[in-house]
Amino acid sequence: MQQVYFDNAATTPMRSEVVEAISEVMRTNYGNASSSHSFGRSAKVLVEKARKTIAGYLNCSAGEIVFTSGGTEADNLILRSAVRDLKVKHIVTSKIEHHAILHTVQALEKEYGIQVSYVNLDANGDVDYLHLETLLDTEEKTLVSLMHINNEIGNITDIKRISDLCKTYEALFHSDAVQSVGHYSLNLEDVKVDFLAASAHKFHGPKGIGFVYVRRDSGLKPSITGGEQERGLRAGTESIHNIVGMETAFKLVCDNLDTEQNYLKELKTYFIEKASVVIPDVSFNGQSGSLNQSTNTILNLRLPNSKVDASMILFQLDLKGIACSRGSACQSGSSQKSHVLSEILNSEDLQKPSLRFSFSIFNTKEEVDYVIGVLKHS
């Protein structure tokens, strides 16, 4: 039986170079980066080198990169401080954001009585930019929180257009870019977001480490208090080995971005074409079937059989050694349907099984053939 991992939107396997870099740091650089002796100074050098490397690829200042435990912490840091410290009274988001955004915004609405507006979406799940502009036309201090790439249907949001709109209306802009950092080139001098969240394990780095971009002089305050690490924005001893692992993964993916994305685009194209031939009436949710309007790493397909539950098909695929998902891994085990698909599909299509396949450079066309063959008989 083959083992096929098509759930890379949930997490990616670490590159061997990353494992080696992490192991080396754990063996030789075990000092606390806040200590003043030579062991601490050596660790501090590694942290600041990683910060400078990441900032260089994003075209921002090293001082604007703050290390966190991952995307969820980064999102919470931004949203909570924006309301608590920057006095944001109005948050604009969408109903298909990751729950790290949605649940945090809902909690802030209850805690602080802020106004929350949800921008309209079209039938494919794309943002209605004209409606967004009407929501920005307010005297209340506003923060827009819209993800760059949707983690379930792969839609690419035009964050350059949104950042320009936010500047016009003097609103703050935060983007959860967990599914795009490491997959797309981002120039933060051109795309003037105020805040951006990323997570290393989505681009072949380790789990438990990520970063947040915080535009200079934003006024953001920490959510985790204690020491003065991370320029006072994130207390706690830095995880040196994970930071170096993230730096290594980010450097590798950025240096090979065009080659790897071309490979992923070819692989996704092959999956779409093969599925369309072998499985009559297969459909693709959102923009995931479009090679121009969705990420190369995510394909969310809908099978024509309305009598078979998606969870049963996932079970059958798992028995055949195939890993994929119904949607976000954070909702795994939940009996509820995808909140993303519930927003864009009609009741009839919601009854049909939908599966998310997500790819990495370690996947092959032979694996696609195997998966399509299993799906045909599911």
Residues whose CB falls within 8 Å of the CB of residue 232, separated by 6 or more in sequence, listed in order: 222
Residues 116-145 have a mean pLDDT of 97
Catalytic residue among 60, 254, 324, 330: 330
- pLDDT recorded at residue 305: 83
DSSP state of 145: E
Tell me the pLDDT tens digit for each residue of 335-360: 568 999 999 999 999 999 999 999 99
246 and 332 in a single domain? The answer is no
Tell me the pLDDT tens digit for each residue of 139-149: 999 999 999 99
298 and 203 in a single domain? The answer is no
Report DSSP letters for 326-352, one per residue.
SS-GGGTT--SPPHHHHHHS-HHHHTS
CA 85/CA 104 separation, integer angstroms = 16
What CATH number has the domain bearing residue 237? 3.40.640.10
CA 14/CA 72 separation, integer angstroms = 20
Residues 115-129 have a mean pLDDT of 98
Q: Which of 223, 255, 287 is the last residue of a domain?
A: 255
Q: Which of 195, 222, 255 is the last residue of a domain?
A: 255
Angle, alpha carbons 367-372-377 (nearest 5°): 135
- pLDDT recorded at residue 331: 52
Count of domains in the chain?
2
Residues whose CB falls within 8 Å of the CB of residue 236, separated by 6 or more in sequence, listed in order: 224, 226, 227, 229
Tell me the pLDDT tens digit for each residue of 92-101: 999 999 999 9
Residues whose CB falls within 8 Å of the CB of residue 288, separated by 6 or more in sequence, listed in order: 153, 154, 155, 294, 298, 299, 300, 301
Instruction: Say if residue 319's pLDDT is above 70.
Output: yes
287 and 177 in a single domain? The answer is no
72 and 212 in a single domain? The answer is yes
Q: Indicate if 324 belongs to the active site.
A: no
Position 182 confidence tier, pLDDT thresholds 50, 70, 90: very high
Q: What is the pTM of this model?
A: 0.94
CA 135/CA 167 separation, integer angstroms = 14
Least confident range from 51-55, 78-82, 223-227, 292-296: namely: 223-227
Tokens of 30: 């075990």
115 and 196 in a single domain? The answer is yes
Domain range for 355 is 4-12+257-376
Instruction: Say if residue 116's pLDDT is above 60.
Output: yes
